[in-house]
Structure 1
């Protein structure tokens, strides 16, 4: 029974940061985010919550598989789990940076570091548990899309943001 609860905890844990970030996001969609120049190809706002819930849950399960098969922090899973923890921190930090602080440049830097970290994490997961490594691929694909979106928002709005700050 404890193994089941370990898996459930690993799945729920990353969602906690997502739920807290969601509170920040919801408060800043209108009027701030909707006032930005956004690319036409961006996913609808309603897609982000369900997609992130699936991704957080799957990455949590992948971390459980690595923890289980790699001996936790006392075995070969130590580095992959450290990478997992650092990517969670970078992931959770993005929302307060982008939606909370409206800092497009710093959010772009954060998501770039996050992408690199997730790629390294997935690669290291694969060496402990193949399924866990493969589970990280949809996350990396979504981050690629999110990074492109973040870049376009930065590129198309950085002048606008500077003008607004000058007027304040």
Structure 2
């Protein structure tokens, strides 16, 4: 398949690499969701949450869109020289992705709201760093693809911090209300 590259020239799309780039964040998100489904039905329902908590059904579609855009952005960066020329931008992307995947078990599985709060703060910083690393490589497309993710994680950060502060324990583990 032929498409235009970032400079307007025709470029070949490596569909296999694009699929892998999109599948990695999607697989992590799906894995985290499957691993914590029971906790969402039990523990998460019972803790204190703010009135501005989104409905549970919204998380799946939002994360699917965000993970797809993240994967596309990483593919576009990879396409501009692979891991040899884009090692730093892709490493920073990998860091934020690892922090993203870590948040789910910290929050939902082990109920460590203190650690989940620290993780999401680090994730937010890593997303900003990813945007800063990706923008020189793929231009404003980095903003288009990653600013929705940053906005959602900003909201999720506020939600995580609120839940942590309103479900306190001495160990950082939230107990059911």
**Same fold by TM-score, threshold 0.5 exceeded?**
yes
Structure 1 stretches lacking a partner, 5+ long:
none
Aligned with 2:112 (options 86, 89, 103): 103
* Match among 14, 28, 31 for residue 25 of structure 2: 14
Compared CA separation, residues 42 and 106, structure 1 to 2 (3 A)? same
Runs of 4+ aligned residues of structure 1 deviating over 6 Å after TM superposition are 160-163
CA RMSD of superposed structures (Å): 1.9
Q: 1:158 aligns with which of 168, 172, 175?
A: 168
Structure 2: gaps of 5 or more residues: 2-12
How big is the shift at 1:140?
A: 0.2
TM-score w.r.t. length of structure 1:
0.91
Q: 59-68 vs 127-136, which deviates more?
A: 127-136
Determine if contact 1:127/1:133 at 8 Å carries over to the other structure: no
Cα 1:164/1:74, change in 2 over 3 Å: closer
Q: How does 1:13-92 map to 2 (within 5 A)?
A: 13-69=24-80, 71-75=81-85, 77-92=86-101
Query: What is the rounded CA distance, in whole Å, between the counterparts of 1:20 and 1:163 in structure 2?
Result: 23
1:3 maps to which of 11, 14, 38: 14
Cα distance, 1:163–1:124 mapped onto 2, change above 3 Å: closer
**Post-superposition shift, 1:8?**
1.4
For residues 15-42 of structure 1, what are the alpha-carbon distances to aligned partners after superposition, in whole Å with 9 as ceiling and x for unaligned?
A: 1110110012311012201111100011
